[in-house]
Amino acid sequence: MTFTTRPTLAGTFGMVSSTHWIASQSAMSVLERGGNAFDAAACAGFVLHVVEPHLNGPGGDMPAIVATADDPTPRVLCGQGPAPAGATIEHYRAEGLDQVPGSGLLAAAIPGAVDAWLVLLRDHGTWELSDVLEPAIGYAEAGHPVLPAVCATIERVSGMFTEHWPTSADTWLADGKAPAAGSMVTNRAYAATLRRLLAEGAAAGTDRVSRIEGARRAWSQGFVADAVDRFARGSFLDSSGAAHAGVITGADLTGFSATWESAATLDWAGTTVAKTGAWGQGPVLLQSLQMLSALGDPAELDLLGADGVHTTTEVMKLAFADREAFYGDVDVPLSDLLDPAYAAQRAALVGADASMEIRPGSPGGRAPVLPRGLGETDSAAGDSTVGEPTVATPTAQRGDTCHVDVVDRFGNMISATPSGGWLQSSPTIPELGFCLGTRAQMFRLQEGLPASLAPGRRPRTTLSPTLVLRDGAPLLACGTPGGDQQDQWQLLFLLRVLAQGSALQEAIDAPAWHSEAIPSSFYPRGMQPGVLVIEDRMDPAAVRDLSARGHDVELGPAWSEGRLCAVTRDATTGVLRAGANPRGMQGYAVGR
């Protein structure tokens, strides 16, 4: 029996896995009191705003993939807000910018997370919004023991807050100091925002759906939109080194609604793997699976040896090169990108040595177009307000995003990856208790690209939930924080679980790695060709072999790669299972 850091949970009632134990248990309490998976996930989502504010917030974004007991067809809930109406390339160029800043008001896309959670609750939940929000309000008002990572994040940006973002200093610093790890931290302004949403929702109707719709209007057309509009007219220092006002307005919030859409899917290893469309990076996972099948039986890949590490790394480089050339909120040739013949053509490029090039293909004969200066930008080292740091680097344990998976006894399943609106990335709107997101940094200020900035266009997000079906029934939901690394880590996990039969916790705990040769989606958009970061638990002989193949191997801490969550359901027996990542010492699975 393989040793794991914790058991794979098994039961028949319900399972939750998330990146924070308080969110997991809050969601489980909803299941215990009769709520379904979607009530529970929404509860967890709002709790995560409170307990992981350095990793996600109400001003951020949230894509999810769901399958219901009544209709197991996977559906994507898009809580990724687009660029505001005033976000034009001309405006940013006129401000003297050649990139969208990685922090501050100009980097704001329209907030999508809150509306998405409310739409999920409206369409598939059963609970009243007041009951769903009760835990989040309680933790925001009365406090919760704050994570060491939250305190470290606040400490890193405390000077910026004090000198340039006074509303953030007022919210997160007490007497000019970051909170101590484990101390009780509150966010009463956000609690008041949630209470006002409830009050205005209650005044709007006499049934559950009407009350949810009333809260949505209070957010997008009422006091929240008004506060965003007022605050965004101010000017604050951002990562460009200059102060800028935002372009987002209350009208932008009014015009946005979270939407349902079809998932991108791939039939693979006797399952159907579902991801968001190519407005996000999710299909790189599907492309990678297709290429690996073209190279042989994925069940035979030795994922603890040099061959397996090399092959998966080189395949992912090719998939991400296609992301750079073709993905965005445009008409993406996804059927051609996932075509088995195209995958075989691309897989043939995997050689004996590590590639140092960005090599997009020509799906359906289309010529690839890459951004100018791809991967050649300057470093933003020392600026703790920018980007979305990966979960770990060889020198520091850091955080970035959240994730939650839920499955209930009825057969409902959801995978959701909330992110953005990080407390350190934009000044706090004082009367709301949260800041705007910075997802617009993923746009390019170059015309003619799939990811070019344009009003109403969604940024090409890295947020990448996954849902897997077998014989048409939901089998597995999983996901991880990690920016550009999310689908690299999920690829290893799915290979182990779906192709090689590993148990959930065994697959989560296994040594992992990621390539830094992927062009970063985050300001300042750099990359490190050839760099391969591997947990130092990997066999030294395999590491030496990889170095001999040309990989620039960097050994990271033994438990540093990824923060995976996962739940499963066996449609035949009704047995539910869950696992969660020990890395980062925050994630937990609960269930019975």
- Residue from 131, 135, 109 nearest 121 by CA: 131
Record the tokens describing residue 580, joined without a space: 């969660």
Per-residue pLDDT of the chain (592 residues; tens, 9 = 90+): 689 999 999 999 999 999 999 999 999 999 999 999 999 999 999 999 999 999 999 999 999 999 999 999 999 999 999 999 999 999 999 999 999 999 999 999 999 999 999 999 999 999 999 999 999 999 999 999 999 999 999 999 999 999 999 999 999 999 999 999 999 999 999 999 999 999 999 999 899 999 999 999 999 999 999 999 999 999 999 999 999 999 999 999 999 999 999 999 999 999 999 999 999 999 999 999 999 999 999 999 999 999 999 999 999 999 999 999 999 999 999 999 999 999 999 999 999 999 999 999 999 999 999 999 887 755 555 566 665 433 333 333 344 799 999 999 999 999 999 999 999 999 999 999 999 999 999 999 999 999 999 999 999 999 999 999 999 999 999 999 999 999 999 999 999 999 999 999 999 999 999 999 999 999 988 899 999 999 999 999 999 999 999 999 999 999 999 999 999 999 999 999 999 999 989 999 999 9
The DSSP call for residue 364 is G
Contact 45, 589 (CB under 8 A): no
Q: Is 285 helix (H, G, I), strand (E, B) or coil?
A: helix
- Report the relative pairing of strands 14-18 and 404-408 from DSSP bridges: antiparallel
The DSSP call for residue 497 is I
Contact 280, 109 (CB under 8 A): no
Cα 65 versus chain centre, distance: 12
Give the chain's radius of gyration (CA, Å). Answer: 22
Q: Which distant-in-sequence residues (6+ apart) come within 8 Å of 184 by Cβ?
A: 142, 143, 144, 145, 146
Angle at which helices 223-232 and 188-202 pack, to 10 degrees? 140
- Residue from 421, 297, 277, 380 nearest 337 by CA: 277
CA distances to 126, 263, 299, 438 from 456, in Å: 32, 21, 43, 15
- Residue from 195, 87, 143 nearest 440 by CA: 87
Q: Label residues 398-433 b or e (16+ Cβ within 10 Å = b).
A: bbbbbbbbbbbbebbbbbbbbbbbbbbbbbbbebbb
User: What's the CA gap between 129 and 201, in Å, rounded?
Assistant: 9
The DSSP call for residue 241 is S
What the chain holds in terms of domains, given with CATH numbers, is 21-60+74-255+412-442 (no CATH), 261-377+464-591 (3.60.20.40)
Whole-model pTM?
A: 0.96
